Amino acid sequence: MRILIAIAAAAAMGLAACSQAETEQAADDAATAAQDAGAAVGEAAHDAGEAVEGAVNDAANATAAATDDNPATTPGQ
């Protein structure tokens, strides 16, 4: 039982040793990290959207070329 009291006291002393400035700095650092992560996710989503748009356009153009009956607009006919 005494060991538990000693551990609790040591933990309480450790928490008390953290200054308000350190606590605020840690909160600021966490907020900055979250903001940076959000920006990275947004950039990745944008890049993925651009890639999907390109793939859809390529597929649409390939489909249009494959189904075009007009020899004047279809290469190789």
Q: Burial letters for 34-48: b for 16+ Cβ neighbours within 10 Å, e otherwise?
A: eeeeeeeeeeeeeee
* Contacting residues for 34 by C-beta, under 8 A, at least 6 apart: none
Say yes or no to pLDDT of 77 above 60: no
Q: pLDDT grade, residue 67 (50/70/90)?
A: confident
Helices in 1-77 by DSSP H: which ranges? 2-17, 20-66
Q: pLDDT grade, residue 15 (50/70/90)?
A: low
Amino acid 59: pLDDT:
95
Contact 71, 77 (CB under 8 A): yes
